[in-house]
Amino acid sequence: MPTRTTNNRLAGLLAGLLLAPAAPATAGTPLFDAHLHYQADQRAAIPPEEIIAILADNGIEHAVVTSTPPANAQLLAETAPDRIVPFLGVYRDRADKEGWMHDATLPERVERWLAAGDWRGIGELHIFGRDRDSPVLRQLVEIAADGDLVLMIHGDLAIIDHIFEIEPDSTVLWAHLGDRPEPTILRAALARHPQGLFIDTSVRDERFLDARGDLLPEWRALFIAHPRRFVVGVDTYSLPRWRRFDDAANTIRQWLDQLPASVARRIARENARELLLDPLLLGLPKD
């Protein structure tokens, strides 16, 4: 015969079970995804509300989104202003990805886009050392510095160095661990640019994980040595990438879980929050 206390305890347990919300399949540490695209074909296939649901289901608390055309990122930001941090994608088409740095009409267009919308950054900009002397690059670096905007750069270390030569106060998100994802190169880059350089780890998991999904020792050491300089991102470079978002987010959480908790929290979200969210919202002093 169960006692009254046991009955109460059972009733409490049952109520707790009934009230507990169903945990999403990939629930875990909230992530700030610093590298997403919402391109024209992706928008045609997946409406903005569904994109936001994918992010919510995967515990993506905030996300940087860039797009061609730029209106797509803005549409997402309007759909979920507390979750989406829009970056201005400056390409009109695939040709611009290769040739934007030679298009003298681009800076004016960028200034018009910036004036017409609310943007936190510019990019993703693809550019390598051979084009470092491009006046268009110089102008975009100056525009970004003037507007306190982050530059998302897909390029090599020569370009990163040059951006900080042009504007030492630049803030750069260096995509995909740079073009040569090697700890010695990244250590050197972080030492040369101790203030404004941040590095996203997107789509480079296979470089720092072994076949079992374990962090390679030299990469683990790098992340621990520089916990404030790395951020994560799924990088939805294609429509299938959005369809399999869960897999990529799970992989990110699996390697973050192998780091000391304080380092994992920094890379998972705190670095990006401090870099990209309004300091007033975070209650942080602005410098």
- Half-sphere exposure of residue 97: CA atoms within 13 angstroms, side-chain side: 7
As measured in angstroms, the least distance from the Cβ of 237 to Zn ion is 5
As measured in angstroms, the least distance from the Cβ of 176 to Zn ion is 8
Nearer to Zn ion, 122 or 264 (CB): 122
Helix 183-192 to helix 217-225 angle (10° resolution) is: 10
Gap between the Cα atoms of 205 and 237, Å rounded: 15
As measured in angstroms, the least distance from the Cβ of 123 to Zn ion is 9
Gap between the Cα atoms of 272 and 120, Å rounded: 12
Nearer to Zn ion, 33 or 124 (CB): 124
* Cβ atoms 40, 32 nearer than 8 A: no
Interactions with Zn ion, residue window 229-248 (CB under 5 A): 235
Gap between the Cα atoms of 283 and 287, Å rounded: 12
As measured in angstroms, the least distance from the Cβ of 26 to Zn ion is 21
In the shown chain, the binding pattern of residues 39 to 58 toward Zn ion, with x for contact by CB under 5 A and - for none, equals --------------------
Nearer to Zn ion, 198 or 263 (CB): 198
In the shown chain, the binding pattern of residues 113 to 132 toward Zn ion, with x for contact by CB under 5 A and - for none, equals -----------x--------
Nearer to Zn ion, 36 or 114 (CB): 36
User: Is the Cα dihedral 74, 75, 79, 83 positive or negative?
Assistant: negative
Gap between the Cα atoms of 192 and 257, Å rounded: 29
State the residues that interact with Zn ion by CB under 5 A: 124, 235
